Amino acid sequence: MHTEARELTGSDIPDVAPIMDPPPLDDFIAEEERGPFLSQKQESQLIRRLRRGDECARATLISAHMPLVRAVARGYRNKGLSQEDLLQEGYMGLLRAADRFREGLGTRFSSYATWWIREGMQRALIRSRFIRLPDYLAKSLHAYLQREEEEGDVGARREQRREALGVRESTMRALDFADIRVYSLDDDSDDGPSRIEQVIGDVAGPDNDYDRDAICRALRVHVAELNEKQREVMMFRYGMYGGAPMTLEAVADRMGVSREAVRQLQVRALARLRQSLSESGWGS
């Protein structure tokens, strides 16, 4: 039976030993299973000690907020990463939050840490969504997906798709896991979903092959650097987490904003991505 969580007061802060490595899964226990949590006063004390280089204070602050990592991870289930990977990426985000947080930001550490935890998980999800396929399979899959759309049979049964592609079950499982889309930064039109149904495959020449991989790596990093609303628009409009790309109107309904607001967010996001890629040495 769990006892009710109590708030720590005064200087009653049990220090935790400095953290060296990511903890095991068992350490990410559910929030209701934890004992004391930090008051704002105790949090401020720990942060001041942390800024003076107190590693025990850092470890205590992190330990008190580890249930937050699990809570955020629940929102990213079944999107392509294991629970362990999500928790470890979120944990690294929590470490970054502890190192960057400063008093005077006008927010509690938990709110600040939530952003960094989400950012870590989203970056990992974006990284996991890009794969390279042999040219013959890329062409077959691209043709099949086009035919599904033309015939209005987007929900074709998995076994039918596997037979049409002529691939083994093991290959099909890999395709199920992967998001096989490449996104166009030139498509900011208002009509229809924003998608170019191209598969990352082998292309002629080693230079082109390298460029495409490098651009994809740069793109997923820069998408993760967008603000939360811009990132959501890109995810929904381009189907970047494996879902179906959505129209402006559908995204507006999903986010509870106007169609024009979504369009402006998309335009700003695309402009920032183009600039970021250009500054990274890609694009004209």
Domains of the chain in sequence order = 25-128 (1.20.120.1810), 135-279 (1.10.10.10)
Which DSSP category does 75 fall into?
G
Q: Torsions phi, psi of 35, nearest 5?
A: -90, -120
How many Å apart are CA 191 and CA 139, to the nearest integer? Answer: 26
How many Å apart are CA 8 and CA 15, to the nearest integer? Answer: 12
Which DSSP category does 216 fall into?
H
Residue 137: predicted pLDDT: 58
Residue 222: predicted pLDDT: 72
The 10 Å Cβ neighbour count of residue 62 is: 22
How many Å apart are CA 53 and CA 41, to the nearest integer? Answer: 19
Query: Structure tokens of 189?
Result: 């039109």
**pTM score above 0.85:** no
Taking 50 as the pLDDT cut, the residues of the chain under it are 1-11, 14, 16-21, 25, 29-36, 130-132, 149, 152-155, 177-188, 191-211, 282-284
Across-strand partners of 196? 182
- Let me know: does 137 contact 174? Beta carbons within 8 Å: no
Amino acid, res. 40 = Q
Residue 181: predicted pLDDT: 41
Distance, C-alpha 27 to centroid of its chain = 22
CB within 8 Å of 174: residues ≥ 6 apart: 131
